[in-house]
Amino acid sequence: MIKYILRRLLVTLITVLGAIIILFIIIQFLPGDPATVMLGPRATPKIIEEVRAKMWLDRPVYIQIFKFLYNIARGDLGTDILNYMPVRRLIFNALPHTIALAVSSILIASIIGIPLGTYAAAYKNSLIDKITGLLSISMIAIPSFLAGVLFLLLFSIYFDWFPAMGGGKEGDILSQLWHLILPAASLALGWIGYIARIMRASVLEEITEDYVRTARSKGLREYTVIFKHVLRGALIPVIAVIGVGFGNLLGGAVITEIIFHRPGLGTLIYNSIQSRNYPIVQGGLIIAVLLYSLVNLMADLSYSLIDPRVRND
Amino acid sequence: MDKKSNSFNKLIFYIKNSRIKRVFTDPLGLLGFLLIFSLLLIAIFAPYITTYSPSDIDIANRLTPPSSNHYFGTDNLGRDVFSRLIFGSRIALTVPLLTISFGIILAIVFGLIAGYSSERIGNIFLIIFDIIKSFPALLFAMTIIALTGSNLFILIIIIGITRFPAYARLIRAQTLRVKNKEYVIAARAIGASVLKIMFKHILPNVIGPIFIQAAMDIPVVITFVAALSFLGLGVPPPTPSWGTMIKTGYSFIRISPWMVIFGGIALIWATLGFTLFGEALRDNLDPRLNRTR
């Protein structure tokens, strides 16, 4: 087990390192020198030279990469080139909004998806099961950004029930929660279908176990059997899938944030791309890669605790 | 009987007796197929269906609601939304198909090498696949396209690269499974070259599951392209694309919501069709891949 954890840690470390280097190479070597692009067409050669020197762009590439990695290791993600704010602060101001969005949509999806899947499995092949199945697949097929736009149209423009934009008032938890509902629901939609299906399959598998037969033969009610005994075992794969999917959810959160003008990581990176504020883009992507790898690592490790076969992979 | 009709009969015989048939007798699979097939017909016969050219600008009639003149209304430049949706199906189908084909080609090359070479080299490839997979694909694509400017070629290359590790892992796993089978050992014994062994003997035996995986990936890529277009970083204007139309609709959502509604229906039509069909393929052709039923 220790060996497995160490190997997984090492792979994650290499992955993150590799991702950062690739990111560096992409940003530095795409057409257009960052300094020239940032300063715009009217910059004089002298200013460009100065900025290049300041950004270490005149040094050899390998020194740039080492400097870059060294700075990241120290937690320095560079400085925003428009307002001279440390990129780290901008990112850590935005990050809680993104994490709140991702976590709350997983919560919504679980709260609806798990009972739905359990119910469908308990009444396998009934009309309700078939409707749930069709509903699940339809929810999976609807792109989350489209769900966002349609929810915005329906619930905040047509019915005017929810606010359309922003992340809520600073420091006002209620207002922030209020602003969270629509984006979280639109991001959760596909996951409701996904979780419901996995839950259904998992319950159906669990129901064939011996202990379930024992519980039934004791004369327990079907409701008690399913909700007290089966559910506990059936939840394990669902939790593992949620862990693995969390990274993808962060990706989907980006575009949902943009639609609802939420001040999260996605909006930050998107706006920085528009204003060609590359240090923020670079720093934001690094944090995104880091977050994604860490979540995947945790999901893998918890999965291996639950299912020992994974370790021997 | 001439050769051609003979092989045609063979094909019919094959379809009748193979498990493919089950995909079409599965009601959801059939629904998926019909959705895709109708989309295909719409894309092919687009010029005969539409009543306007998709690029005709008519500023005097901008953002008009649906009417008998313009079935789905007009956009912010007075272009006919119905015609643009119909022509948009062409991009919606071709870009994902090209992207996934490119991803499969990459996966075949790297997956075969990773599977056929020594364990150490194979592991290095696995780490490379993991690195690519650990990139948040949408953010990554957004950044590169923002730097290079959006064009279809770059779009296809980038999304292809972000999708290929999943297929490559599958090909590697399959290659590991067959590389010590008798027929491969026999080929090696009679002195076949490595390339010949990989492409002639191993490839045909490992490629099957990739197509199912790829079919299931089509709706993902359609969504991905539409999402990028929605951000203004996908299909470059004035080419009619659904993502761009939804974006325009989003900008004018308070004045004219129908662009979002009709564009959304078109997008769901495609993703639902491919999802249903892909799942029917998987459930009926490769039960091993089945994890949710």
Out of 1.10.3720.10, 3.30.230.10, 2.60.40.1150, 3.60.9.10, which CATH number does the structure's domain B31-291 have?
A: 1.10.3720.10
A50 versus A150: which is more confidently predicted? A150
Contact map slice: A 209-268 vs B, CB within 8 A:
247, 250-252, 254-255, 258-259, 266
Say if the Cβ atoms of A255 and B292 lie within 8 Å. Answer: no
Q: Which residues of A touch B226 (CB under 8 A)?
A: 143, 145-146
Mean pLDDT of chain B: 83
What's residue B13's pLDDT? 65
Question: Is residue A206 a contact partner of residue A127, using CB atoms and an 8 Å limit?
Answer: no
SS3 state at B192 = coil
Question: Which tokens in the block code for residue A147?
Answer: 């769900």
The radius of gyration of chain A's CA atoms, rounded to the nearest angstrom, is 24
A55 touches chain B (CB under 8 A): no
Tokens 């079907």, located at residue: A222
pLDDT over 70 for what percent of chain A? 89
pLDDT over 90 for what percent of chain A? 8
Contact map slice: A 170-209 vs B, CB within 8 A:
197-198, 200-201
Q: Is A121 left (phi over 0), alpha (psi -120 to 50) or beta?
A: alpha
* A145: nearest CB among B135, B227, B253: B227
Half-sphere exposure of B204 (CA within 13 A, CB side): 6
* A289: nearest CB among B134, B268, B292: B134
Nearest chain B residue (CA) to A149: B250
Question: Is residue A230 a contact partner of residue A216, using CB atoms and an 8 Å limit?
Answer: no
Q: Which residues of A touch B27 (CB under 8 A)?
A: none
Say if the Cβ atoms of B223 and A143 lie within 8 Å. Answer: yes
- A308 to chain B, minimum CA–CA distance in Å? 19
Confidence category of residue A112, pLDDT binned at 50, 70, 90: very high
* B138: nearest CB among A15, A137, A254: A254
Max mean pLDDT among A57-71, A120-134, A167-181 falls in A120-134
Residues A272-298: pLDDT tens digits? 888 877 788 888 888 888 888 888 788
* A153: nearest CB among B230, B253, B268: B253
Select from B95, B87, B105 the least CA-distant residue to B39.
Answer: B87
SS3 state at B26 = coil
Say if the Cβ atoms of B148 and A30 lie within 8 Å. Answer: yes
Buried b (16+ CB within 10 A) or exposed e, A76-101: ebbbbbeeeebbeebbeebbebbebb
Select from A114, A116, A106, A101 the least CA-distant residue to A259.
Answer: A101
Nearest chain A residue (CA) to B126: A11
* B246: nearest CB among A14, A26, A146: A146
How far apart are alpha carbons B151 and B156 in whole angstroms? 9
- A284 to chain B, minimum CA–CA distance in Å? 9
A4 touches chain B (CB under 8 A): no
ipTM of the complex: 0.81
How far apart are alpha carbons B292 and B279 in whole angstroms? 10
Q: Is B235 left (phi over 0), alpha (psi -120 to 50) or beta?
A: beta
What's residue B269's pLDDT? 93
pLDDT over 90 for what percent of chain B? 17
Range with the poorest average pLDDT among A111-115, A122-126, A179-183? A122-126
Average pLDDT of the residues in A126-136: 88
The strand ranges marked E within chain B are none
What's residue B107's pLDDT? 93
pLDDT tens for each residue of chain B, 293 residues long = 455 566 677 666 666 666 677 778 788 889 999 999 999 998 898 888 877 777 777 777 777 778 777 777 777 777 888 888 888 899 889 999 999 999 999 999 999 999 888 888 888 888 888 778 777 788 888 888 877 777 888 889 988 998 898 899 889 988 888 888 888 888 888 888 888 888 888 888 888 888 888 888 899 899 989 998 898 888 887 888 888 888 888 888 888 888 889 999 999 999 999 999 988 888 877 655 544 43
Select from A189, A122, A182 the least CA-distant residue to A157.
Answer: A182
Handedness of CA B238, B244, B245, B251 (dihedral sign): negative
A10 touches chain B (CB under 8 A): no
| Beta-ladder partners of A79 | A86
* B142: nearest CB among A14, A153, A273: A273
Residues B23-35: pLDDT tens digits? 787 888 899 999 9
- B47 to chain A, minimum CA–CA distance in Å? 27
SS3 state at B74 = strand
* A152: nearest CB among B144, B253, B268: B253
Confidence category of residue A47, pLDDT binned at 50, 70, 90: confident
Say if the Cβ atoms of B146 and A273 lie within 8 Å. Answer: yes
Select from B133, B117, B228, B216 the least CA-distant residue to B176.
Answer: B117
Interface probe with B: pick from A14, A37, A145, most Cβ of B within 10 Å: A145
A149 touches chain B (CB under 8 A): yes
Confidence category of residue A311, pLDDT binned at 50, 70, 90: low
| Beta-ladder partners of B74 | B80
Question: Which tokens in the block code for residue A176?
Answer: 């922030």
What's residue B270's pLDDT? 93
What's residue A313's pLDDT? 44
Task: Determine phi and psi for B98, rounding to 5 degrees.
Answer: -65, -40
A293 touches chain B (CB under 8 A): yes
* A254: nearest CB among B139, B148, B276: B139
Say if the Cβ atoms of B260 and A149 lie within 8 Å. Answer: yes
Q: Which residues of B touch A285 (CB under 8 A)?
A: 136, 139-140, 143
Select from B104, B106, B61 the least CA-distant residue to B81.
Answer: B61
Nearest chain B residue (CA) to A274: B146
What's residue A308's pLDDT? 59
Q: Which residues of A touch B144 (CB under 8 A)?
A: 26, 30
pTM for the complete prediction?
0.84
Nearest chain B residue (CA) to A124: B293
Average pLDDT of the residues in A61-86: 77
Confidence category of residue A37, pLDDT binned at 50, 70, 90: low
Task: Determine phi and psi for A86, rounding to 5 degrees.
Answer: -65, 130
The alpha-helical segments, DSSP class H, found in chain A are 2-29, 34-39, 45-54, 61-73, 87-122, 127-141, 144-151, 173-206, 210-217, 222-224, 231-259, 265-274, 278-306
* A285: nearest CB among B139, B268, B279: B139
Residues B227-256: pLDDT tens digits? 988 988 888 878 888 888 888 888 888 888
Amino acid at B117: S
A283 touches chain B (CB under 8 A): no
Amino acid at A65: I
Mean pLDDT of chain A: 81
A306 touches chain B (CB under 8 A): no
DSSP character string of B144-187: HHHHH---HHHHHHHHHHHHHHHHHHHHHHHHHHHTTSHHHHHH
* A289: nearest CB among B135, B246, B257: B135
What's residue B105's pLDDT? 94
Q: Which residues of B touch A138 (CB under 8 A)?
A: 272
Helices and strands (DSSP H and E) totals, chain B: 14, 0
Q: Which residues of B touch A292 (CB under 8 A)?
A: 134, 136
How far apart are alpha carbons B126 and B171 in whole angstroms? 12
Average pLDDT of the residues in A206-218: 81
What's residue A71's pLDDT? 80
Select from A74, A95, A98, A78 the least CA-distant residue to A86.
Answer: A78
